[in-house]
Structure 1
Amino acid sequence: MPDRLPDFHVKPDPQDPRLSTPVTGRDQNGNEVEIRVVNERALTLYLNAQEIVTMMTIGDRPDLLAVGYLLNQNMLKADDRITGIDHDEDLDVVVVRTERETNYEEKLKKKVRTSGCAQGTVFGDVMERFDEIALDPEARLRTSWLYALTKKINTQPSLYLEAGAIHGCVLCQEDRAVAYMEDVGRHNAVDKIAGWMWLNGISPADKTFYTTGRLTSEMVIKTAMMGIPILVSRSGFTAWGVELARRVGLTLIGRARGQRFVVLSGAERLIYDMEASEADGEDARHRRKGARNAEDAA
């Protein structure tokens, strides 16, 4: 029996002064206003002595981002032993050290630019591993859990609600939102969750992954590579994202807002135990704010 994880075991801290900056401007009526805008900084990742990539990020949880990125790019193996993770905040560098010697010079030449914001990238051999993925066919998602999750996530205090221009990703178990990560790029938020799962030995088999961003090929690839069988978004789909989800047997649910959703792949995992009309949706204020900030982050 998988461990039962608590609600928001990891959650955003919208009041962290390192993550956003107050900026003064004027509104549509010429009145002076002050809003918070998300900070963005470069973080260069090294694997042992080799420079891998420079990422644009809000700067929190660099250890999780680094490990998750390397896992999702197939540069860290399941049986690798990490001997150290060093972050130099002044130099904006994070170094992941492993017991195994690594050299990815050839791999780094084969890059594919994805549709993810902030210039997401996957490497050529990732798709070779994608076709070998086996997702748990017994995983299930009750509609009552889905309605509870969308309300919980969309009303949780976050930079997404506070400032916009940012993406959120949430690891869920049944009706509980377990780990909520944010970043300027949806791929970074995914990688932080991948890093957290790997470093804490969290099983993916009974989990659902929620994102505020579009259901693109990159989101499908990363979710499947993490071994998570169900992917949900309040946003829409791309055709290649749907095609890849069907190819690997991933349950793909989009446009999940209030009491509505659409499933385009893996509908057999859904259990319709609650009518949409019975669900307790988020209030109008959060729906408007979420819709506005989704447009900012797109």
Structure 2
Amino acid sequence: MTNETVTHTILKANGPQLKEVDDNVVREIPLTVHYNREEIATLLCSPSQTEELALGFLLNEGFIRVPEDVYELRQDPADHLVWVEGKPCLLQKELMSKRFVSACCGKSRASFCFANDALMVKPLTSSHSIPLKEAYEYAAFLQSHLPLFQATGGIHSGGVGYQGQAILTSYDIGRHNVFDKLSGSAFRSGSELENRVIFFSGRVSSEILLKVAKMKVPILIARGAPTDMALSQASALNITIVGFAREQRLNIYTCPERINV
């Protein structure tokens, strides 16, 4: 965790008292992604799983589809650069010009490839279901496996689960980056996603729902609340959204047949 945080001296208030203390603050870096020698985007992110983030970003934005599309990946950790050489993308110019992407949920992310989203996202046909007990296990995992959050309070986290076990995990200052890192990790390892569960520490916006749909994961379990647009999209795309998942409590918003008592 040394590389993930920096220490700042701050003033901490407790009632009328002020005390000077050292505080851990989460790091943020600009990661510039190149595809076939073209600068595609600069992602503001945590300095972990940066190769997975680059691959997941390119995958979710339609530049690559299968591992064979990637010929070479190189990284310069000092200057936060990633170069990917791969199968020529016929729509590369149309997909996006050079962008600077905020780690938060600004409009830059939502407008990335809106036209391309319609081509990439289809209603899911998975009939995968899980017992309610398993859903609680993923909620408990989020609560108990967040040492960096406990140290800084400054990150989101998520994972891919199967039969109550976390098979992939990621964390980042940016909500979207968590999903791109999970996508990139699965892409690299050849992990199955279509009959898995994603669990996530944050809220579920329409942008997050689209990430899940592109990953073809049928069940999303989140600690936070969904938006109405996310629920509308989830219903149309046959995705189960579970929100406010904490300890032995949760809300099932869409496609409840996938959660069994």
Q: TM-score, normalised by structure 1?
A: 0.80
Structure 1: gaps spanning 5 or more residues: 1-15, 273-298
Structure 2: gaps spanning 5 or more residues: none
- Name the structure where strand makes up a greater proportion of residues: 2
1:42 deviation in Å? 0.5
Match of 1:180 in 2: 169
Deviations 1:238-267 (A, max 9, x none): 111111100100000001112111111110
Match of 1:23 in 2: 8
**1:128–1:107 distance in 2 versus 1, CA, 3 Å:** same
Using the aligned pairs only, state the percent identity.
24
1:255 aligns with 2:240: no
2:82 corresponds to which of 80, 89, 94: 94
Match of 2:115 in 1: 125
Bigger mean CA deviation after superposition, 199-208 or 156-165: 156-165
1:61 corresponds to which of 28, 49, 55: 49
SS of alignment partner, residue 241 of structure 1: helix
Q: How many residues align?
A: 255
1:33 corresponds to which of 21, 37, 41: 21
Give the Cα–Cα distance (whole angstroms) in 1 for the partners of residues 104 and 238 of structure 2.
22
**1:107–1:42 distance in 2 versus 1, CA, 3 Å:** same
SS of alignment partner, residue 7 of structure 2: strand
Match of 1:282 in 2: none
Output aligned runs, 1:201-212, within 5 Å: 201-212=190-201
Q: TM-score, normalised by structure 2?
A: 0.90
Match of 1:220 in 2: 209
2:179 corresponds to which of 182, 190, 193: 190
Bigger mean CA deviation after superposition, 51-60 or 158-167: 158-167
Match of 2:31 in 1: 43
1:167 corresponds to which of 137, 156, 168: 156
Deviations 1:80-118 (A, max 9, x none): 43111111122221011114455612221599x999536
Any conservation in 1 of the 2:194–2:216 contact (CA below 8 Å)?
yes
Any conservation in 2 of the 1:107–1:124 contact (CA below 8 Å)?
no
Any conservation in 1 of the 2:45–2:173 contact (CA below 8 Å)?
yes
